[in-house]
Each structure stands twice: as C-alpha cells, then as structure tokens.
Chains A and B, each alone.
Chain A
Amino acid sequence: MKSPVFSRNDLRMNDQRMEVIIGHLLRAGVLLSAAVVMLGGIIYLVHHGHAVADYRTFQGELSPLRTITGILHGALRLSGRAVIQFGLLLLIATPIARVIFSAVAFARERDFLYVGFTIVVLVVLAYSLFGASPH
C-alpha cells in the first residue's frame, strides 16, 4: 500500500524531470531563434548597413512585418528584416511551446486542474498573437 507521503514524493520526481526537459527546450528555442536573428541581421547589414539610421519617429503602423503571414512572405524572399522578424517570432514561440509541453506533462500526471490552468494561459497567449492582429 502506498502511503500518501510516498505518492506525493513520486509526483515531485515527475515534476523535476519535467522541469529539466523544459529547461533544455527553452535553451534550444532561444539559441535557434538567436541564430536566425543573426542570419537576418547579416543579410540586413550587408544590404542596408550604409543607409542612415532614423528611429526618432514611429512608423510601425506602416510595416508589413506586423502579421505572421507578412513575416513569412518576406522571410521566404530572404529579406533581411523579415528573417530577423521570423527569428523574433521563434523567440516569442519558445515560452509558448513551454506552456504546451506543460499541458501535456500535467495531463500525463493526471493533474487535470493544472491541465485546465495551462489551457487558460494558452488561450490568453493565442488571443494576443491571433486576436490582436490587424486584418
């Protein structure tokens, strides 16, 4: 017969393993996106390095790189700015991947309360990425 203390320790061991996997996941995501950002940066600087930098006035609302489709189109043409932006999208996706992984891990531990909490967080994140986009 399992004592309650033992089963609780069991649960913590699972949590521990889950955290280590998540740590690796986060590091891999960050390094991958940093590599893509750097690649885009090199393309950008080769083509535009000698232009004059001016960021005093905000012109963000004119940028085609505000939507996921806009970024993907530009990145496929290997436009430096779009490749950088694609790397930044990967960076934003990294913690989101962590949340998805947590939902799966909590489900495997049969902790449905936390599966529910994790899904709430995912819905909020999805709203930010897709609900707030200009169309």
Chain B
Amino acid sequence: MTVLHFTMLIALGSFAAGFLGALTGLGGGVVVVPLLALVFHVDMRYAIGASLVSVIATSSGAASAYVREGFSNMRIGMFLEIATTVGAIAGALIATRVSTSTIAIVFGFVLLYSAYLSVRTRPPHPSDKRRDTLALALHLDGDYPTPQGQEHYTVHRIPLGFGLMFGAGTLSGLLGIGSGAVKVLAMDQAMRIPFKVSTTTSNFMIGVTAAASAGVYLARGYIDPGIAMPVVLGALAGSMLGAKVLVKAGTKSLRIVFSLVIVGLGIEMIFNGLTGRL
C-alpha cells in the first residue's frame, strides 16, 4: 500500500471513530488504537502515540463548547489534574517497559469495561447536602445551571476520587486514551459531583492528562508524524461534526451498536495479545 492510500484510509477510519465517539459520548480514542493495530497492522507503540495526540485535539476542541454552558468546575479540574498528570507519566513509563502484547490485553479489558459502563443504567445517587470539611478547605463546592435555576452541590470522598484519578491517568498514559469513562466514574460515583459537571470537567482534564504522557511518548519515538497526521485531522473533523449532529439525533440505538463494536474489538485485542500477534 502506498503512503497516500494508507493516509487516506486512516484519515477516513479516524473520522468515523471521532464522529461515533462524539455522538455516543464514548470518545473516539478507544477505537483508534484497535483500528490501527488490528485493521492496518500498525505497531502498537505507533498506534497509542497517534491516539494520544488525537485525544488532545478532540477534547480541547470540544472544551470551548462546554465552558460556555457553565457546567465545568475549574477548581475540581485543576486539583484532580495533579493526580491524573502524575498517573499519566507513570503509565507512559510503564508502557515503555512492558511488551506490546501485555498492553493489548489490558487494552482489551478496558474496552470491555467501557462498553459495560455505557450500556448499564447508571444508579442515580442521592444528592448529599452534608458538607465535607476537606471540600470546604479546598473550595471545591460549586453551582451549576439546571432548568430550576442555579443549583448548589457539595463534593465528597475526595481521597477516593483523587486515587481513582491517579488510576485514570495511568490508564491514559499506558494506552494512549482519554480514559474519560474512569474520570467520570471517579467524580460522579465516588465524589458525588452532578453528572453534567462530571462529564464536562472530565473533558477539560483529558487534554492536560494526555499532554503529560505526550512528552514521554515523543521522547521514545512513539509519535510518528506519518500516522499521527491522518489520525489527528480525521478524529478532530469527525468529533466536531459529531458534536454538531449530537443535538438532533437519537443516540440510544447507536450507543448500543457502538458498544457491541467495542466489545468485538476488545475480544480481538485480548486474543491477539494472548497469542502474541500484537
């Protein structure tokens, strides 16, 4: 295959990944790596390097739309970024030391888990109005717009959330993904932050987390311009279009289909990792 054909096909695939990722809220990063590794037979290290930079592009591109709505909480984001960036560097350093087969297997399980998270019904947590002394000391509590006007929320279980964020950062650095699902889980389920605030703040944090592992990836030669170029441009265009279409389309059935695709890719990644093909 010539470089031109290869570039066109990868741009097209990344466009589809970014589009579906934005439309379903699952993020395109999780399918870019399996797409490159399984379909185009790209070495895992190049695949996670390209995916990671595309994650910076799509999350930063989407952030400008989110901040206008006033949901995200800068202080929660900045405080937790301490955990995610340190985790991201740890993950990137682990990635340079373990075999690509191991990374493929871990990736497969993360795919299966994110598919599970996306289809299960989220147990609504009762809003907890008790104040948490640590949250008060860190000024983490905030307000967000609801149909009934501004609503106040309080933040809880900060050490647990901080620890989960370290884990989210490690996964991001190890696999070249945004790991938005884990970040939302930490904020929404562990810290009891309203879902809307959790998702927008998570998106805000993804770029900084990814930038932390990008330095390590760059120095190790994981970021190859020939692959990263079509992936970044394709995923960015796809996610911007997806965010535009999002408001009009009913996404429930699409979400189920996309989740099934992710399950398939996850099994394929685990199988190829176990048999040493990746």
* Residues of chain A whose beta carbon lies under 8 Å from any beta carbon of chain B: 12, 15-16, 18-20, 22-24, 26-27, 29-30, 33-34, 37-38, 40-41, 44-45, 48-53, 55-63, 65-67, 80-82, 84-85, 88-89, 91-96, 98-99, 102, 106, 111, 113-114, 117-118, 120-121, 124-125, 127-134
Flag whether B103 is at the interface (Cβ < 8 A): no
- Check B67 against A53 for contact (C-beta < 8 Å): no
Given contacts A16-B70, A124-B86, contact A52 B64 (CB under 8 A): no
The distance in angstroms between the C-alpha atoms of A97 and B2, with both chains bound, is 37
* Residues of chain B whose beta carbon lies under 8 Å from any beta carbon of chain A: 1-7, 40-43, 45-46, 49, 53, 56-57, 60-61, 63-68, 70, 72, 74-75, 78-79, 81-82, 85-86, 88-89, 92, 138-139, 142-143, 207-208, 210-216, 218-230, 232-233, 236
B contact patch SS: helix
B53 to chain A: closest residue by CB: A88
Could you list 15 A-B pairs, sorted by A, with CB under 8 Å?
A19-B67, A20-B68, A26-B64, A26-B207, A27-B61, A34-B232, A53-B6, A81-B226, A88-B223, A92-B53, A92-B214, A94-B207, A113-B139, A125-B208, A128-B88
Given contacts A44-B229, A124-B86, A132-B215, contact A23 B139 (CB under 8 A): no
- Check B219 against A88 for contact (C-beta < 8 Å): no
Chain B nearest CB from A70 CB (Å) reads: 10
Residue from A27, A81, A132 whose CB has the most chain B CB atoms within 10 Å: A132
The distance in angstroms between the C-alpha atoms of A121 and B210, with both chains bound, is 13
Chain A nearest CB from B209 CB (Å) reads: 9
Chain B nearest CB from A54 CB (Å) reads: 9
The distance in angstroms between the C-alpha atoms of A27 and B70, with both chains bound, is 17
- Check B229 against A111 for contact (C-beta < 8 Å): no
- Check A128 against B74 for contact (C-beta < 8 Å): no
- Check A88 against B225 for contact (C-beta < 8 Å): yes
- Check A91 against B53 for contact (C-beta < 8 Å): yes
**Which of A26, A53, A114 is B60 in contact with, Cβ under 8 Å?**
A26
- Check B228 against A52 for contact (C-beta < 8 Å): no
Chain A nearest CB from B177 CB (Å) reads: 16
Residue from B65, B139, B226 whose CB has the most chain A CB atoms within 10 Å: B226
Chain B nearest CB from A88 CB (Å) reads: 5
Residue from A20, A22, A62 whose CB has the most chain B CB atoms within 10 Å: A22
CB-defined contacts of B56 to chain A, threshold 8 Å: 91-92, 94-95
CB-defined contacts of A40 to chain B, threshold 8 Å: 225, 229
Chain B nearest CB from A115 CB (Å) reads: 10
**Which of A19, A50, A60, A117 is B220 in contact with, Cβ under 8 Å?**
A60
A103 to chain B: closest residue by CB: B78
- Check B228 against A55 for contact (C-beta < 8 Å): no
The distance in angstroms between the C-alpha atoms of A22 and B70, with both chains bound, is 12
CB-defined contacts of A66 to chain B, threshold 8 Å: 218-221
CB-defined contacts of B78 to chain A, threshold 8 Å: 99, 102, 106, 114, 117-118, 121
3 tightest A-B CB contacts, nearest first: A60-B221, A128-B215, A95-B207
- Check B229 against A132 for contact (C-beta < 8 Å): no
